Structure 1
Amino acid sequence: MNQQFQIDDIILAPGLSIKIRNTIQFKHGQDGFHLWEAGIVLTRYVYYNIMPSKQLFMDLGTGVGITGILVSKYTRVIMTDYNQDVLDNAWLNVKLNQSPCILMQLDWRNHNKISFQVDTIVGSDLVYSGAPLYDLYQTIVKLLKQNGIFYLIIPSSRMCTSEFIDIMNSEGLFEIRKELLEDEKYYQPCLLDREQSHTLYPGLKELKFYMYIFIKK
């Protein structure tokens, strides 16, 4: 890895921050080393709305690991990604925050090898052009317990979202809900220096996100 990394205190809510080692500039295919605005919004949503306890969570496509690290403050969590180098960086963030997380390599295309289930799955920016969407669907089906919930953050402008929703609807296995996140608490600057936050994380100012909630029947 040749990226230039930095460590920042990412502010999630008043009195709550997480140290994250990530890179601002990256090459194609190395986006898992970058902290994306969708991950910040997802982590804030979990904090304000889910408050997990006594459940087994999975942070799917964990990237830098910010959501899984937050969840670990409340309950057990497995942080997964298909890229081992990304997982290695997420592990450094786990150690920075002294979080009791489990990390596991997981490729959606190998969903037939999944042999365990979890109560709740969270993910951000998993749906994009070129992503193996049907494999993602099969992965969710295999991983989730009955009545389990999958929370997925997607930017409002993402063009392939409808394709993924059609796949999730295809076999009638999920109840699907959709919520536009408009409350400003999700979009507050994430750095103490507000101007720097707007520069490095412009999506918190310029984008809106949908939360899709998939409940397994």
Structure 2
Amino acid sequence: MNLPPPVIRHILLEENKNIDIKDQVFFQTGNDGVHQWESGIVLARFVLWAENLHGKILELGSGSGLAGITCSKYRNFEEVVLTDYNERVIANMTENAALNHARVSIKYMDWTNASTYLDTRFDFIIGSDLIYDGAPIRELIRTIAAHLAQTGSCYIIMPNKRKMTPVFITEIEQAGLQVESSPLLDERYRESPSENKAQGYRDFIELQLHTYILYTIKFNNLE
């Protein structure tokens, strides 16, 4: 199958804050990480606006790398690490990091293979739209537990109505972690990511179709 060439998206997070992303609008199964998904835009805005984010941050299933690149470009982290398991996706996010002159580390990580885990724990872990039918949910939670600092927080953003969400929450609790969920109701998260607002909503139609949910995962730290 011959795919059309990718396009460069100028993703507008807020006024005067853009990230350039190489986006493959059409993709073959297994390469969906080269497409920029709406949840990634919401996550990038979350890390841009959230208070008290500092230290070391790890992005799981980074895809285009938008959120991690935002951390590098507009926040002051000690270390920003982007990860994925698909080599084509890794190559694409490497190009995106270069497009934005982002100071990030890009690593191969397979949640199902502990030998690919990093020998580091992070103050924050982030990810977007990681829970779907067929996703290795238990392995994802194991990956989070292996990389999160004892007092750290993991933030996962997903659109509402994902049918695997109850399984995700149950597996988190069975792993001895705690999880809280809250809808991101601030309309800024759903604003058009383009100077041309109408075009931005056409390119990223799901921004207007979903409410996005923030899942905060922590260890059960007992006093």
TM-score (norm 1): 0.95
Q: 2:210 aligns with which of 198, 207, 211?
A: 207
Structure 1 position 70 matched with structure 2 position 70: yes
Q: Does structure 1 residue 98 correspond to structure 2 residue 82?
A: no
Counterpart in the other structure of 2:199:
196
Structure 2 Cα separation of the partners of residues 82 and 88 of structure 1: 11
After superposition, the C-alpha distances for 1:117-146 in whole angstroms (9 at most, x for unaligned) are: 111100001100000111101111111110
1:65–1:79 Cα contact (<8 Å) kept: yes
**Matching residue of 2:130:** 126
- How many Å separate the matches in 2 of 1:91 and 1:134? 28
Divergent runs of 4+, >6 A: none
Q: Which one of 156, 162, 181 corresponds to residue 158 of structure 1?
A: 162
Deviation at 1:206, TM superposition (A): 1.1
Q: Hey, what does 2:32 align to over in structure 1?
A: 31
Corresponding position of 1:10 = 11
Cα contact 2:24–2:35 (8 A) shared by 1: yes
The one-letter amino acid paired with 1:29 is G
One-letter identity of the residue aligned with 2:154: F
For the 8 Å contact 2:132–2:164, the answer to whether it is kept is yes
1:180 maps to which residue?
A: 183
What are the Cα deviations for residues 48-67 of structure 1, in whole angstroms up to 9, with x where unaligned?
114633x1100110000100
Gaps in structure 2 of 5+ consecutive residues: none
Alignment partner, residue 88 of structure 1: 91
1:52–1:71 CA contact under 8 A, matched in 2? no
Contact 2:31 2:88 in 1 (8 A): no
Structure 1: any 5+ residue segments left out of the alignment? Answer: none
Normalised by the size of structure 2, how large is the TM-score?
0.92
Judged with a 3 Å threshold, the aligned counterparts in structure 2 of structure 1 residues 3 and 79 are, in CA distance, closer, same or farther, namely farther
Output the CA distance in 2 between the equivalents of 1:84 and 1:100.
20
Match of 1:216 among 198, 214, 219: 219
- Residue by residue, what CA displacement relative to the aligned partner does 1:13-32 show, whole Å, maximum 9, x if unpaired? 12211111111111221110
Which piece of structure 1 moves more, 197-206 or 96-105? 197-206
Please tell me the root mean square deviation across aligned C-alpha atoms, in Å. Answer: 1.4
User: Which residue does 2:22 correspond to in 1?
Assistant: 21
Letter of the 2:167 partner, please give it.
E
- Seq. identity, %: 33
- Supply the AA of the counterpart residue of 2:91: D
Q: In structure 1, the residue corresponding to 2:67 is in which secondary structure?
A: helix
State how many pairs are aligned. 215
C-alpha distance in structure 1 between counterparts of 2:173 and 2:113, whole Å = 21
**Equivalent position SS for 1:18:** strand
| Corresponding position of 1:44 | 45
Cα contact 1:24–1:200 (8 A) shared by 2: no
